[in-house]
Amino acid sequence: MSISKTFSAKLVLLNPLLRREDATLPSSLSVNVSFEGQLPAGLSQTDMPLEVSITLPYEFVNYIMPVIKAASIPMQEEDDPGERRGDVQYITFLPLRTDFDRHEASHWLHVGENIREWLLDVVVETHCPEWAWGSDLYWIALFAAHPNIERFPWALWDPKIAMVDTFGDRWMQDKSNRAEHNEHCTVQTACSVCRRAQDCLWEEFSRLAGLFFRVPIITAAAAAAADDV
């Protein structure tokens, strides 16, 4: 699932020419765009492909040309004793227990509840990378426990953890995730469609978990056992 997000803004640049007697001397217009925040360890060494679009009114296009340059700006590191990113002991819901089975709904429900508690009791701050990351994992766990969206038990969802702009939002909007399930499909007797969805969700969970949790999220022995199921 390839996801990107587009941000747009409109600017009006006043007085593009110097207000001088010789109005033919142009001033240099400068617009800075910066990206603030902290990347998780799993993305810090990854190239970031960006698309930047600039639209000029027709009457200006023959006279000025935008020049786009990329540069890294060193940020002053704040002295924050509460900073715990990258500390695996801070992420209390990982690693998963050694008998974790991605096709077992009760296992996913247990993981989802642990993530919920971590978000609400440990992270708390909703406008930080950990909250966004944990929210995505929370929704993956809930949908992996109940892959049949048409029968999803919404009573499981804690509304303190929003769905908007999370993995859950994207999963709900993807029509391919509404494939027809067996009429007898239940939590106890998952159909082949559910199992394929759980495989997909497990792959995404593993990928996302590695962004902050930089050690194996499950032991090799447990993973091998799950593959044999």
33 Cβ neighbours under 8 A, 6+ residues apart? 52
Where in the chain are the domains? 105-227
* Structure confidence by residue, pLDDT tens digits, 8-65: 666 666 555 545 555 555 556 667 776 666 666 656 556 667 777 777 777 777 777 7
- Alpha-carbon span 88 to 92, nearest angstrom: 8
* Structure confidence by residue, pLDDT tens digits, 67-77: 777 766 665 55
Per-residue pLDDT, averaged over 157-164, amounts to 94
Look-up: residue for tokens 């642990």?
Answer: 114
- Alpha-carbon span 139 to 92, nearest angstrom: 17
Q: How many CB atoms lie within 10 A of CB 109?
A: 17
Cα 171 to Cα 125, 142, 147, 174, 186: the distances in Å are 24, 11, 10, 5, 20
Give the global pTM: 0.65
- In the chain the first and final C-alpha atoms are separated, in Å, by 25
- Alpha-carbon span 142 to 155, nearest angstrom: 11
